[in-house]
Each structure stands twice: as C-alpha cells, then as structure tokens.
Amino acid sequence: MYTNIVVGTDDSRTAREAVRQAADLAEAFSAALHVVTAYSVLHEGLLAAVPASTGLMGTPEVAEASEAQREQCEDLLRDVVNQLAGRGIKAEGHAVAGDPASAILEVAERQQADLIVVGSRGMTGAKRFLLGSVPNKVSHHTPCNLLIVQTAQVE
Ligand SMILES: Nc1ncnc2c1ncn2[C@@H]1O[C@H](COP(=O)(O)OP(=O)(O)O)[C@@H](O)[C@H]1O
Ligand SMILES: [Mg+2]
C-alpha cells in the first residue's frame, strides 16, 4: 500500500519512536524510508526578530554555526540510515536547514511520498494533551496520508 514513506526526527526520544514505527511500516510494505532532520542555527523566535536587512544571517559566525549543525544532522542521519539498512530497509537521510514542518513537507513533495510519519509531541507534564507544532503544521498541508504516532507513553 505504501511505497515512499517520510519520517521526521530531531533525535528526541519521542521522535525515535516515530522512526521505529515508520521503519516497521517500511519493512512491512517494502517501502523506501526518507528520514528528515531539520536544523536551524537561530532559535525560531530570534529568527523572527532579526530582519534579513541587518545582514546578521550572512556573518561568518552564523555560517560556521550552521555548518556545525548540518554536520551533526548528517552524523545522526548516517547512524539511523545504517541501522535501517541493516534491517534491509531502503533508507535515505535528508538534512534540511529551516522549519521542521516545511522540511518534512518539502521532502514529501519531492519524493512523492504516500505516507508521512511524525511523533505527536515532545513535551512533558501539563502540556501532555497538546499536539506538537510540527504534527499540527504538517497536518494542515500534507499532500498524502499522515500518521501521527502517539508518543505520550514514551516520554
Ligand atoms: N527538527 C526536526 N526535524 C524533523 N522532524 C522533527 C523535528 N522536530 C520535531 N520533528 C517531528 O515532530 C514530532 C513532534 O515534535 P514537536 O512538534 O517538535 O513537539 P514539541 O512541540 O512538543 O517539541 C517529532 O516526534 C518528530 O517526528
Ligand atoms: Mg520540538
């Protein structure tokens, strides 16, 4: 039923559960699995507060920090992809700069995904009943089926 599955992870415990379930589905359907990790050098709030016109985004310091984050993502993705390949799953990693939901949607469009998998949320405590911002945003724009893995029990 599924041939191209996209899953998002930031290597949090809950996201790892989403990857685990996406891997089980990829295995069951002999589907390709695209693992997306989005990174951003600037905190979202800060990013919104810094107009592009300040030129801050173009400084060597920001470029260096961004490069370090990209390498960290590549390392994570290499590990995940190797693990999946060990199970016979055709897996590919995608390190994308920017907003996680946009990154997941962009890869899904490009790969013509028929399923997107994300965890429900990464928060704990009183925020337990809130849907994370990533699944919330993806759900409004998804071009295909979306599986929101209930991760409350793994927190
Ligand atoms: N940086 C990221 N890159 C790719 N996917 C992510 C990223 N951050 C979160 N996700 C996906 O979104 C799910 C929920 O996380 P999130 O919405 O960030 O929750 P919270 O708002 O509670 O931190 C994760 O389980 C993961 O599947
Ligand atoms: Mg988060």
Q: Give the DSSP per-residue string, 71-93.
A: HHHHHHHHHHHHHHHHTT--EEE
Contact status, residue 97 vs residue 70, Cβ threshold 8 Å: yes
3-state secondary structure of 11: coil
Candidates 86, 103, 125; CA nearest to 9 is: 103
CA distance 109 to 107: 5
Query: pLDDT averaged over the chain?
Result: 88
Contact status, residue 123 vs residue 132, Cβ threshold 8 Å: yes
Radius of gyration of the chain (CA): 16
At residue 145 the predicted structure's pLDDT band, cuts being 50, 70 and 90, is very high
* Distance (Å) from CA 15 to ligand 2 centroid: 9
**Residue 74: pLDDT over 70:** yes
Nearest ligand by distance to the CA of 37:
1
The number of folded domains in the chain is 1
Candidates 6, 2, 4; CA nearest to 94 is: 6
CATH code, 97: 3.40.50.620
Q: How far is CA 119 from CA 1, 12, 68, 116, in A?
A: 21, 10, 26, 10
Nearest ligand by distance to the CA of 99:
1
Is residue 100 within 6 Å of ligand 1 at its C-beta?
yes
Is residue 37 within 6 Å of ligand 1 at its C-beta?
yes
Q: What is the pLDDT of residues 108-123, one digit of tens each?
A: 999 999 999 999 975 4
At residue 128 the predicted structure's pLDDT band, cuts being 50, 70 and 90, is low
Q: What is the pLDDT of residues 20-42, one digit of tens each?
A: 999 999 999 999 999 999 998 66
Range of the domain at 70: 4-154
Hey, whose CA ends up nearest to atom 21 of ligand 1?
A: 132
**Residue 101: pLDDT over 90:** yes
* Distance (Å) from CA 100 to ligand 2 centroid: 9
At residue 65 the predicted structure's pLDDT band, cuts being 50, 70 and 90, is confident
Is residue 95 within 6 Å of ligand 1 at its C-beta?
no
| pLDDT mean over 49-70 | 73
Is residue 19 within 6 Å of ligand 1 at its C-beta?
no
CA distance 132 to 146: 14
